[in-house]
Chain A
C-alpha cells in the first residue's frame, strides 16, 4: 500500500495527475515532489494548465487521474483526493492556504479586516475575542497594515493592501503549504516588489512550503527554489530555478525566457 510508504520527508507528492475538460486536456500526467520549506514555481503562458493544476492540487477541482499525497501532522502520507470532503475542507482551513489572484475572491468584502483575518481561527474553534483580535493585530502588522485599519472593510483598501490582507488571513493558522495563484498579478511594480519582499520574508521565517503559479518569470526568480514549465497541459521542463532560467533546454522555455522584456 502506498499509504504505508516510509516517510521520506516529502511534504507533498503528486503522482500522474491528469485533468480533462471533455476531450480537451487541462493538465496531463503531472508528477513532482515538494519538500518542507521548499517553494515550487509553475510558469507557462495563459491556458497552459497551470491554474487548473493548482486548483486540482488544492481540491477545488475534481481530478480525473492521479494522486496528491500530503504528509499530515500525524506523519503518514495520505491521498487528499481520496479524503472525505470534511477532512479536505479541514485541511484547507488548517495545514493549507490558498492565495487567490484577485483578493476579492479570497476575502469577505463586507467583513472588517480583523474579521477576515480572524475567520480561520474562529473556524477551528477559537472563542476568545481578545485573543483573536490580538493575533489579528499581530498579523496585520506582519503584512504591514496599520493597526488602526483593523475595523475597516477591505473595500476601503488599495489593491496591494487587499492582497496583503489576504495573505495575513491565510497564514494566521500557521499552514505548512500555501498555494498561490498569481499573487502579484494586477499590481503595479513597486507594490509587487514590496509584496514579493514580504512573501519572501514570511516563507523563510515560517519555513513555509509553497506552490506558486505565475506567468511572471521575475517572481519565480525571486521566490521559487524549483521551477516547472508547462505548455498545453504538459510539463515540458523542470529544474532548479536559476538553472532553468539561465540555461533553458526545451524550445518553449527558451522562447519564454527570451520573451521577457528588458528595461
Chain B
C-alpha cells in the first residue's frame, strides 16, 4: 500500500495532532482544540479516535480496536482493517499484546500496563454541556474552576431517583483541577482511569483532544453521604463465569429469555480458553 501516507493522515496533520496530544498530557484533563480533519467515515464513528491513533502509530505497533468491549462489531472491525491497510501495522485482539488500543465506551478488563496507549472515541468532550449550552461560558467555568454546576446535576439525580443515576460518562476530577468527561464508559470503568497506561481522548466532530498521563489522580465526583459506586449487573458471565467483569445483557429470543455475558470479548475468550465455563457454556 504505497498510495496512502503511513496511517492515512499526512505528516503535517500528524504533527499538529501530536502537538495537541502533548499539550493535553502536560495539562491533564484540559480540552485542547485541534484542527480535526475529514476522515473516510462519518462523525460519531470514531473520527477523533482514529486521528489520535494515526498520529501516535509507529510501524512497530500492534493495534487493537474494541467497540463496547467487543473486537468483532462493525465499528471495531472496520477501524482495525483501516489501519491494517493504510499503516500495515500488526493487529491483535489480545489486550495484553496490543501497544495501541482504540476503544469506544469501554476500558478493557485486563489491567493495562505501562507502554500501552488507550485511545478513546469521544462524542461530546464537554462534561458541562448539557447544563450550560454556551461554549464561551463553559470554557470560563473551566478556567475559573467553577464546578458547582456539576454537583447540581448529581443533586438532581439523587432528588429524582434516590441515588446518583448517572451510569455512564460519569464526570471525574483530574489531579484536583479539571472536571473531565471520561467518554461514555460505564461508571464501572471509572476506577480504571487511574492507570499506568497513557490515555488519550479524541473528539473529531467537536475538535477536542484531552489526555491522562500514566498514574494521574482521577476522582469520580460524588457527595459525602452519596459516595461514588462502580456498579454492574448483579450476575456472573454465562459463558466464562466471571463475576467481576462488566456484563452485557443479551436478549435471546422473543419469549424474553436473556443472558449475561462479558462485554469484553477478549477477556471472556481467554477465560474460556483457560478452562472457565459458565452455566450456558456448561449446558452446551
B223 contacts chain A at the CB level, 8 A cutoff: yes
CA–CA, A177 and B223, complex, Å: 30
Determine if A130 is an interface residue (Cβ-Cβ < 8 Å). yes
In whole angstroms, what is the CA distance A127 to B222 when docked? 8
A128–B224 contact, CB under 8 A? yes
Q: Contacts A86-B144, A89-B144, A119-B149 hold; do A129 and B160 have CB atoms under 8 A apart?
A: no
CA distance A85 to B144 in the complex (A): 8
A120: chain B residues at CB < 8 Å are: 148
Interface string of A125-144 (1 = CB under 8 A from B): 00111101100000000000
**Min distance, Cβ B225 to any Cβ of chain A, angstroms:** 5
Is the beta-carbon distance between A151 and B159 smaller than 8 angstroms?
Answer: yes
The answer for the CA separation of A68 and B155 in the assembled complex, in Å, is 36
Nearest CB of chain A from residue B54's CB, rounded to whole Å: 38
**Interface extent on A, as a size class?**
20 to 34
Indicate which residue in A115, A124, A130, A150 contacts B225 across the interface (CB closer than 8 Å).
A130
Q: Provided the pairs A123-B146, A127-B223, A127-B224 are in contact, do residues A133 and B152 lie with their beta carbons within 8 angstroms?
A: no
Kindly list chain B residues whose C-beta atoms are within 8 Å of the C-beta of A129. 155, 158, 223-226
In the bound complex, how far is the Cα of B152 from the Cα of A124, in angstroms?
A: 12
- Which residues of A sit under 8 angstroms from B139, Cβ to Cβ? none
Q: For the complex, is B249 an interface residue (Cβ under 8 Å from A)?
A: no
> Which candidate, A32-40, A95-103, A106-114, A182-190, is the interface stretch facing chain B?
A106-114
A122 within 8 A of B: yes
Q: Which residue of B lies closest to A85 (CB)?
A: B144
Given contacts A128-B223, A129-B225, A151-B160, contact A108 B152 (CB under 8 A): yes
The answer to the question of A175 belonging to the interface, with a C-beta cut-off of 8 Å to chain B, is no
B148/A122 in contact, CB under 8 A: yes
Q: Chain A residues with Cβ under 8 A from B148's Cβ? A: 93, 119-120, 122-124
Contact A118 B155 (CB under 8 A): yes
Is B151 an interface residue when CB atoms closer than 8 A count as contact? yes
Beyond A85-B144, A129-B226, whether A119 also contacts B159 by CB under 8 A is no
Any A CB within 8 A of the CB of B156 = yes
What's the Cα separation between A127 and B160 when bound, in Å? Answer: 18
Asked, given contacts A122-B148, A123-B148, whether A111 binds B223 with beta carbons under 8 Å apart, the answer is: no
> Is A132 touching B146 in the complex (CB atoms < 8 A)?
no
- Residue from B151, B160, B223, B226 whose CB has the most chain A CB atoms within 10 Å: B151
A118 to B155, CA, bound (A): 9
Docked complex Cα distance between A86 and B140 (Å) = 10
Nearest residue, chain A, Cβ from B150: A122
Q: What 1/0 mask marks residues of chain A from 194 to 221 whose CB sits below 8 Å from any chain B CB?
A: 0000000000000000000000000000
Contacts of A128 in B (CB 8 A): 223-225
Cα A133 to Cα B151 with chains together (Å): 13
Distance, CA A115 to CA B153, complexed state (A): 8
Q: Within residues 122 to 179 of chain B, which ones have a CB less than 8 A from any CB in chain A?
A: 144-146, 148-149, 151-152, 155-156, 158-160
A119 to B223, CA, bound (A): 14
* Contact B146 A122, beta carbon cutoff 8 Å: no
Report A-chain residues with C-beta under 8 Å of the C-beta of B144: 85-86, 89
Would you call B223 and A118 a contact (CB within 8 A)?
no
Q: How far is the CA of A150 from the CA of B160 in the complex (A)?
A: 11
Alpha-carbon separation in the docked complex, A132 to B154 (Å): 12
Q: Mark A154-166, 1 if CB is under 8 A from B, else 0.
A: 0000000000000
A119 to B148, CA, bound (A): 6
Closest to B226 in A: A129
Closest chain A residue, CB of each to CB of B221: A127
Given A85-B144, A86-B144, A89-B146, do A127 and B151 touch, yes or no (CB 8 Å)?
yes
Distance in Å: Cβ of A173 to nearest Cβ of chain B: 11
Across the interface, name the chain B residue whose C-beta is closest to A150.
B159
Question: Which residues of chain A in 73-90 are interfacial with respect to chain B, using CB atoms and an 8 Å cutoff?
Answer: 85-86, 89
Within A31-87, the residues touching B (CB, 8 Å) are: 85-86
Cβ A122 vs Cβ B224 within 8 A: no
* Residues of A with C-beta under 8 A to B159: 112, 114-115, 133, 150-151
| 7 pairs, A vs B, C-beta closer than 8 Å | A85-B144, A112-B159, A122-B148, A122-B152, A123-B149, A127-B222, A127-B223
In the complex, given contacts A112-B159, A130-B225, what are 14 additional A-B residue pairs having Cβ atoms less than 8 angstroms apart? A86-B144, A93-B148, A111-B156, A114-B155, A115-B155, A118-B152, A118-B155, A119-B148, A122-B149, A123-B149, A127-B222, A128-B224, A129-B224, A129-B225
User: CB within 8 Å of A: which residues of B?
Assistant: 144-146, 148-149, 151-152, 155-156, 158-160, 222-226
Residues of A within 8 A of B (CB): 85-86, 89, 93, 108, 111-112, 114-115, 118-120, 122-124, 127-130, 132-133, 150-151
- 6 A-B pairs with least C-beta separation: A123-B148, A122-B151, A129-B223, A122-B148, A128-B224, A86-B144
